Structures are given as structure tokens and as C-alpha cells.
Structure 1
Amino acid sequence: MDAFITSTITVAIAEIGDKTQLLALLLAARFKNKTAIISGILLATLLNHFAAAWLGQWLITWLDPQIGSYLIAASFFAMAIWVLVPDKMDDDTPGFYRFGAFAATFVLFFMAEMGDKTQIATVILSARYESLTWVVIGTTLGMLIANVPVVIAGHFSAEKLPLTLIHRGCALLFALLGVATLIY
């Protein structure tokens, strides 16, 4: 259950102000079908985070447990620094709009998550907890917790949130996960 709770909280917080959250806002402004957007986010996240969690599971099997623990802790510390760098949305998306709300959301979210903070966090969390299922469920729920309200309230803007404070809190959470990994 630790894997699920930690994955959910970590990704929900890390996603605030992230480029995929900005993408959710852009898609909500573009399309009226909120259910299709949310469904696209769900499916893209499940597939992307399953692949990331599988990679984390695979990588950890090849490492000595002590070295793996140090690498996971170092990765959490690196994520703590990375989340302090704000994301910007690249607007190269209009070509996908012609496919409709679901397909555009699925493709754009899947691509936006490639190498994103939350995808890398999923790899690290899966390696740390060695629980692919609970990490994928938790990280996917975290993405939905952060993005569904943005889709539903399409006029809601991430700029209204105290992003600096949120990013610092997320950095602290990753740093604490790094320390916990070294201790346990």
C-alpha cells in the first residue's frame, strides 16, 4: 500500500504546473467533450506509466541491491532538483486536433509524458517499491487528480496556484523519499 499512496501523492503534486497539466488546459479550451479528454488522459497515462514502471522493475533486477538503493536515492534527489525547474508548453499540437478530442488527447499526452518528470518518477518509484501494479495505479491516479479538475474547469489556470511553493514542496517530498531509501 505504501507504493500506491506514495506514487499517487508524488505524481499528483509533481504534475501541478507540469507541461501535461498545461496541455490538459489547452485541450479543455479546444474541445467541449470533457469525457473524451479525460479518457484520453487515462489511457495515455496507463500505457505510458506501465512502460515506465516495467522499465523500473527491469532495471532493478540487473543491479546489486545496495547499488540499486544508492541509485534510486540519487534519482530521487535529482528529481527534487528537477521539479524546481518550471515547464513550458510547446505549441506544436494543432495538427492533432483534427483527430478529435479523444485521439488528440491520447497521442499528445502520451508524447508529452515521454521523458517527463512524472514518467521518470514512475520508473524510480517502481524500482523503489518493486510493485508495478500499485505504482502504475498510483501514478495514474495522481495524474488524474491533477488533470481532471483542469479539464472540467477549462477556464481554471495554473497561474492562479502558488506554483513556486508547490514545486518546493514536491522537491522536499522527493528529497525525503531519497533519504528514506537510504535509511530503509
Structure 2
Amino acid sequence: MASFIKALLLVVVAEMGDKTQLLAMAMASKYKVKHVMMGVLIATVLNHAMAVAVGSYLGNVIPMDIVKIVAAVSFLAFGLWTIRGDKLDDEEEKKVKFGPIVTVAIAFFMAEMGDKTQLMTVSIAAENSSPILILLGTTAGMLVADGIGVVGGAWMCKHVPESYIKWIAGIIFMFFGTLTLYNGLPTTLLSPVYIILFLAVMGILIYLFGVKFAYHGQLCNIVLPEQEVSVDKENNTSERA
């Protein structure tokens, strides 16, 4: 059960502001919420089943010490990826000539290939020996996060700055990554010199990903299109007056 809870919570954190959550929000503007969530469920089960299979295989053939270090580095990378944010390409939002559920499932499956949550599922599965629980946990986490985005996206944009969501999620990942790396590295690499060097490198990377090359406003651009249009109209009216 601990593996299930860990997988669920980490995926919920990873999915906030992620490309696939943005896609789910965009699809919810065209289709019924129940159809969107059903498509997300189908795509997630298929996609994450592959990720869990790959992660379980790697966990069996690679020494656990190396798995822990790779997982730690992955969590740090996921944290940087999260604070940078994601954007939804126009191609990923195009309609497919099928019913709504199949359309969402295909689009979501393709968008999830190589995405942060899929790669994280591989890492979690490699660290644990409960593939079924990992699959159930990551699938539930995707449904929770995308459900929050689809249903509560507008509320979040009105009351919680998008940057707060990204930074909190990113810091959580980097904290767990740093903790896992600390516990997995040999003691010879835990000297003050290496720790200071690590902190300096992470500080530079956080600035680059979180400030210099970050995507801004992607979440609210999708969930509040009508509000933005009305604001533009009001601004134009006031300028004419």
C-alpha cells in the first residue's frame, strides 16, 4: 500500500501544470468531462503499463544502488522540468476523426509518450517490487491531477498564481531527489566540497529552468479563454471611450 500511495502522490505533484494536464483541460473545452476522464483513464493504463514493465525490468537487471542514484537524478530533473512548466503544441490539440473518448485517449496516449509522468513511472517501478500497485497508484494520480485541472482549473487560476503551483511541485521533487541522492551516494562523495558544488550547480539550473527559460501562463491561457476575451473587449471599449 505504501508503494501505491507514493506513486499516487508523486504523479499528482508531477502532473500539475504538465503538458498532459493542459491537454486534458483543452479537451474538456470541447467534450464532456466524463468522456475526457474516460479517455485519460484508457490512455494512462496503456501508457503506464508499458512504463511499469520497463521500470520493473530495469530494476531486476541493474544493481539497486545504481537504480537509487538514477532515480534521485531523475527526481531532480523532474523538479527542474516542473518549475520550467510545459506548453501545449497546436498539433497535440488537433481533433482526430473518432468519438470523443477515443479521440482523447489517442491524443493523451501520444502526448504522454516520453513525458515527465511516464518517465517518473519508470523510475518508481524500478525502485519498487510491486508493479501492480505502482500502476494503480500512477493511474489514480493521473485521474486525480487531471480531474483537478479539468474541474478546478478556473478556480486555481483565479485564486492561486500558476507560478506557485509549479514551484511548490518542483521543490517537492528536488527535495526527494536530493534526499535519495544523499542516501544513495558513497560517503566519500558527501564531503562539504561536493555538497557546496552540488548546491551551486542546482542553484544555476533552478535559475535557468525556473526563471530564464520558464513557460508562463500556459495553464490559465487554456482554462480562462472566455475571461481573457471579455477582458480584452473591456480594455478596447475603455480605450475608445
With the shorter chain as reference, the TM-score category is: 0.7 to 0.9
Letter in 2 for 1:38: M
Give the secondary structure class of the aligned counterpart of 1:99: coil
Letter in 1 for 2:14: A
Distance 1:127 1:79 in 2: 16
Give the secondary structure class of the aligned counterpart of 2:101: helix
The answer as to 2:108 corresponding to 1:109 is yes
Q: How does 1:15-26 map to 2 (within 5 A)?
A: 15-26=15-26
Distance 2:3 2:162 in 1: 26
Letter in 2 for 1:141: A
Distance change in 2, residues 1:152/1:170 (3 Å): closer
Question: What residue number does 1:139 align with?
Answer: 138
Distance 2:150 2:99 in 1: 15
- Per-residue deviation at 1:125? 0.9
Give the secondary structure class of the aligned counterpart of 1:156: helix
Distance change in 2, residues 1:169/1:48 (3 Å): same
Q: Which ranges in structure 2 are unaligned for 5 or more consecutive residues?
A: 185-241
Q: Which ranges in structure 1 are unaligned for 5 or more consecutive residues?
A: none
Give the secondary structure class of the aligned counterpart of 2:17: coil
Distance 1:147 1:139 in 2: 12
The answer as to 2:82 corresponding to 1:83 is yes
The TM-score with structure 1 as length reference comes to 0.88
Distance change in 2, residues 1:173/1:130 (3 Å): farther
Is 2:9–2:141's contact at 8 Å kept on the other side of the alignment?
yes
Is 1:10–1:170's contact at 8 Å kept on the other side of the alignment?
no
Question: What residue number does 2:150 align with?
Answer: 151
Residues 28-76 of structure 1 show CA distances to partners (whole Å, capped at 9, x for unaligned) of 1112x32221111001001111111111111121212222222222222
Question: What residue number does 1:129 align with?
Answer: 128
Question: What residue number does 2:233 align with?
Answer: none
Q: How many residues align?
A: 181
- Per-residue deviation at 1:157? 6.9
- Per-residue deviation at 1:163? 2.6
Letter in 2 for 1:156: A
Distance 2:14 2:66 in 1: 26
Question: What residue number does 2:6 align with?
Answer: 6
Is 1:14–1:167's contact at 8 Å kept on the other side of the alignment?
no
- Per-residue deviation at 1:86? 1.0
Letter in 2 for 1:30: K
Question: What residue number does 1:55 align with?
Answer: 54
Question: What residue number does 2:69 align with?
Answer: 70
Cα RMSD (Å) of the superposition?
Answer: 2.0
Give the secondary structure class of the aligned counterpart of 2:125: helix
Give the secondary structure class of the aligned counterpart of 1:89: coil
Letter in 2 for 1:112: A
Is 2:41–2:143's contact at 8 Å kept on the other side of the alignment?
yes
- Per-residue deviation at 1:181? 6.1
The TM-score with structure 2 as length reference comes to 0.69
Is 1:79–1:174's contact at 8 Å kept on the other side of the alignment?
yes
Of 104-113 and 22-31, more deviation after overlay is shown by: 22-31
* Runs of 4 or more above 3 Å deviation: 149-153, 157-161
Is 1:40–1:105's contact at 8 Å kept on the other side of the alignment?
yes
- Per-residue deviation at 1:165? 2.0
Is 2:73–2:181's contact at 8 Å kept on the other side of the alignment?
no
